[in-house]
Amino acid sequence: MKPRGVAGTSLLYKILGAASYLDKGIDYICNLGKDILENLFTFGISMDSCSLPGKPKSHSLKDNEIEIGMGIHGEPGKQKVEWKECNEIVNELLA
């Protein structure tokens, strides 16, 4: 599984926008962006797969399943597991 940063992208834009607002040069902003991207990872929990326009769903989950780490375009995640309590999921993601 490759690292993903779907939710982190908005943070990247905000940080780089702030650097631009502070009159940082383009080289500084590009290097800052590269540093951020090399260290940016987000993880999500999905209750169902998605479909791209004109395409079928990439896969399906059972009614009692969630998928940890599914990509924004329906790429397979790290694992499929049975529903868990929120605190259990958070502890697993932090581990």
Annotation says 59 is catalytic: no
Cβ proximity of 49 and 61 under 8 Å: yes
Cβ proximity of 3 and 38 under 8 Å: no
Annotated active-site residue in 14, 55, 73, 78: 73
Which of 8, 30, 11, 7 minimizes the C-alpha distance to 20?
A: 30
List active site positions: 73
